[in-house]
């Protein structure tokens, strides 16, 4: 299996990504989960990540607290999407499993230094603050990263938090800029891709049909998360952004896109956090990101359902 670090701000869709990873031990080995401030403040993302591990029957997973604010801006959160706790939709007990003592940024640095080069993949599902901070603090780790597969940005689908920007990039554009310029092999799951994996009623029901506690928890989350997006986008169901990152690692053939140049807007107030993606190759800027635009939604939900069902929750 591929060694991964999940960097996340749960978030119901982040939670689904964690479950997909924990349910797929043959393909991915979760070395640790680092949390970051994003959808909700850090104290809540730290709590939510542990709730997810516990509900998955995996209190042994190591969870580390990272950065509590973006590099250069005040934190913007998304309670209007994820609810007050960040994980609304079903009541879960406070976690019993501990947070690790080590800081998440230091965990990322130490892990990359300790493991052979090219054997650790970073999976950011929230603002890129932890990753950029690690790269700033320890530039020697950059060349050791196998790949970064992240959820963020948009091209044709433009923005979901402002007309120009996707939430994860908008919250910390300076961090995103560092990551996109780092030279690391980068695979991006933007809104163009995630807006194709919609939680329709039958896809949600498939989780309820497990007849297990975990199945009900997932259905509760998705029901909450979906309701918001159906109202907003008028589509068949809400997009399930973050698990596309893990699904890509397990079954890359579910997705397709183009290797292009992507730059991050950090100066303009109007378009802050925009991913300026050269989809048509109209500049001669060097490609730096595999930018996914298509997803096999049925294949994705079949994988997600099958793997979450394997968990002992």
226 touches ligand BDR by CB under 6 A: no
Max CA pair span of the chain? 54
Q: What is the DSSP string of 145-167?
A: EEEEEEE---STT--SSSSS--H
97-136 residues near ligand BDR, rule: CB under 6 A:
125-126
Q: Which three-class secondary structure state does DSSP give residue 62?
A: coil
Cα separations in angstroms, 258 against 113, 277, 290: 31, 10, 6
- Nearest approach in angstroms of CB 9 to ligand BDR is 6
Measured at the CA of 292, the angle between CA 42 and CA 259, to 5 degrees, comes to: 115
The residue assigned the tokens 């509760």 is: 220
Q: Which three-class secondary structure state does DSSP give residue 140?
A: helix
Could you tell me which stretch among 10-18, 202-210, 258-266, 285-293 binds ligand BDR (CB under 6 A)?
10-18
204 touches ligand BDR by CB under 6 A: no
**Do the Cβ atoms of 254 and 303 come closer than 8 Å?**
yes
229 touches ligand BDR by CB under 6 A: no
How many residues touch ligand BDR under the rule CB under 6 A: the total is 15
Active site residues: 241
11 touches ligand BDR by CB under 6 A: yes
Distance CA 309, CA 301 (A): 12
Cα separations in angstroms, 90 against 50, 58, 224: 15, 19, 9
- Return the closest-CA partner of residue 239 out of 247, 250, 249, 228: 228
- Nearest approach in angstroms of CB 81 to ligand BDR is 5
Among 14, 65, 226, 278, indicate the residue that binds ligand BDR (CB under 6 A). Answer: 14
Q: Which is nearer to ligand BDR, 166 or 177 (CB)?
A: 166
Q: Which does 160 bind (CB under 5 to 8 A by kind): Ca ion, ligand BDR, none?
A: ligand BDR
Q: Which is nearer to Ca ion, 165 or 260 (CB)?
A: 165
39 touches ligand BDR by CB under 6 A: yes
The 47-86 contact track toward ligand BDR, x by CB under 6 A, reads: -------------------------------x--x-----
Among 130, 160, 261, 275, indicate the residue that binds ligand BDR (CB under 6 A). Answer: 160
**Do the Cβ atoms of 132 and 180 come closer than 8 Å?**
no
166-195 residues near ligand BDR, rule: CB under 6 A:
166-168
- Nearest approach in angstroms of CB 48 to Ca ion is 11
The residue assigned the tokens 């908008």 is: 170
Length in residues, the chain:
313
Q: Which residues are near ligand BDR by CB under 6 A?
A: 11, 13-14, 39, 78, 81, 125-126, 151, 160, 166-168, 241-242
């Amino acid at each position: 299996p591929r060694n991964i670090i999940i960097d996340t701000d749960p978030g119901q869709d982040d939670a689904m990504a964690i479950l997909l990873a924990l349910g797929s031990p043959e393909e991915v080995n979760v070395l640790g989960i680092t949390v970051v401030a994003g959808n909700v403040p850090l104290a809540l993302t730290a709590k939510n990540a542990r709730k997810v591990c516990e509900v998955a029957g995996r209190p042994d997973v190591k969870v580390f607290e990272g950065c509590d604010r973006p590099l250069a801006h005040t934190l913007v959160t998304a309670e209007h999407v994820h609810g007050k706790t960040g994980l609304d939709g079903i009541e879960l007990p406070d976690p019993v499993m501990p947070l690790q003592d080590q800081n998440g940024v230091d965990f990322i640095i130490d892990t990359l230094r300790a493991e052979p080069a090219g054997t650790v993949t970073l999976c950011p599902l929230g603002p890129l603050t932890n990753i950029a901070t690690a790269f700033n603090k320890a530039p020697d780790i950059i060349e050791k990263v196998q790949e970064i597969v992240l959820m963020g940005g948009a091209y044709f689908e433009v923005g979901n938090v402002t007309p120009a920007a996707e939430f994860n990039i908008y919250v910390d554009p300076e961090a995103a800029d560092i990551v996109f310029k780092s030279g690391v092999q980068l695979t991006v799951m933007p809104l163009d891709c995630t807006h194709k994996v919609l939680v329709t009623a039958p896809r949600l029901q498939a989780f309820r049909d497990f007849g297990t506690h975990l199945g009900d928890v997932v259905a509760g989350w998705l029901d909450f998360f979906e309701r918001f997006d159906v109202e907003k986008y008028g589509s068949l169901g809400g997009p399930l952004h973050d698990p596309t990152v893990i699904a890509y690692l397990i079954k890359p053939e579910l997705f397709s896109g183009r290797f292009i140049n992507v730059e991050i807007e950090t100066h303009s107030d109007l378009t802050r956090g925009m991913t300026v993606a050269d989809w048509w190759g109209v500049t001669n800027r060097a490609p730096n990101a595999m930018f996914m635009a298509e997803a096999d939604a049925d294949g994705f939900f079949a994988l997600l359902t099958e793997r979450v069902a394997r968990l002992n929750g």
